[in-house]
Structure 1
């Protein structure tokens, strides 16, 4: 009986260590300056992080083949609509090699937020993305203030309250002329 329990105990300790490591990595990932970027959009324009200085940026990395990405997209759309008239921008960076599947995906789910294309996957590497979806919240001064690994209900009241506070801070900073 003791021999059978040993692998389970060791497996549990290994899992606990992995969870602690991931949580530590997540905490360490916040507070750094967001790496800049310029990427093409589906409509042929270019989107650059520097264009949004003074705004809260919701930067999401995703793929059309990713079920958890599909799961969180409707709540992202609701969040996007909620903050549409505020200093808040949502950018979803897609790594598909062709734009057509991305267009179909957006149309199917009725998504209207900005989508940038990065088929070479250079930007996720700069942000240290290890899987999809991953989201970075960037404050008005260009600092990553939150890194979320995996899907989330983005219109959950606690999440909305957190983002509301970031947006209010951005609004005050703009009034005071402080966009760093």
Structure 2
């Protein structure tokens, strides 16, 4: 009985690692960044159309190596300053999509902060793009946890749709020429993030 309970616990922990975002279904345009999807067909058909808030469902982990140009965007940070992705040419970019309501995203945040503290004087830029939440909610969350990396607000979810985000957290790793080199869906620890960043130098 103990072995059965232990096995069930492990399955639930792994299964709960990633949450899907389905509120893009009506507005999402085809994206150049869609890669092989391990989400089951049953999950894809289970969409909550009665609410504008993203819904959470279980999906599989998807890691892909891709090489394509990252679409430019302009978003404001928590201080109202506008940032353009194209302005970061010549720097490596770790682009992460997240939300405060997402448990795996929140679990990943301390790892991102650790990476930021280790690399803040390097040529790596970390951008954490919050999807569809009010400034006040996001700022409160960031301030309460003393996070220092750059947070951007995708209030109308346009950028998330452009990048084909169907699950969060989802991360893109962009080289100095503005090419997306790899993508990771699901939470990561700092060591995993560093491995992807190493790939930007190849």
Under a length normalisation based on structure 2, what TM-score does the superposition of the two structures give? 0.66
Q: Is the 8 A contact 1:64 1:96 kept in 2?
A: no
> What do residues 126-179 of structure 1 show as CA deviations (whole Å, max 9, x unaligned)?
1111011100000111111110101111x12x542442463xx39xxxxxxxxx
TM-superposed deviation, 1:54: 0.8
1:59 maps onto 2:91 in alignment: no
> What do residues 101-121 of structure 1 show as CA deviations (whole Å, max 9, x unaligned)?
101111122111111111110
Larger Rg: 1
> What do residues 44-81 of structure 1 show as CA deviations (whole Å, max 9, x unaligned)?
10011011101110100011101000000000011111
Instruction: Supply the RMSD in Å over aligned alpha carbons.
Output: 2.1
Report the 3-state secondary structure (helix = DSSP H, G, I; strand = E; otherwise coil) of the residue aligned with 2:160.
helix
Q: Is the 8 A contact 1:34 1:144 kept in 2?
A: yes
Under a length normalisation based on structure 1, what TM-score does the superposition of the two structures give? 0.74
The structure that is strand-richer by fraction is 2
CA distance in 1 between counterparts of 2:168 and 2:199 reads: 26
Instruction: Tell me the matched-pair count.
Output: 145
CA distance in 2 between counterparts of 1:61 and 1:75 reads: 14
CA distance in 2 between counterparts of 1:109 and 1:93 reads: 17
> Which residue is equivalent to 1:177?
none
Q: 1:20-169, aligned counterparts within 5 Å?
A: 21-22=37-38, 26-27=63-64, 30-153=66-189, 155-156=190-191, 159-164=193-198, 166=200, 169=201
Report the 3-state secondary structure (helix = DSSP H, G, I; strand = E; otherwise coil) of the residue aligned with 1:111.
coil
CA distance in 2 between counterparts of 1:38 and 1:129 reads: 17
Change in Cα spacing, 1:48 to 1:21, as seen in structure 2 (3 Å) is closer
Report the 3-state secondary structure (helix = DSSP H, G, I; strand = E; otherwise coil) of the residue aligned with 1:102.
helix
> What do residues 18-46 of structure 1 show as CA deviations (whole Å, max 9, x unaligned)?
xx8539x753x621111100011110100
Unaligned runs of 5+ in 1: 1-19, 171-180
Change in Cα spacing, 1:26 to 1:165, as seen in structure 2 (3 Å) is closer
CA distance in 1 between counterparts of 2:153 and 2:199 reads: 29
> Which residue is equivalent to 1:178?
none
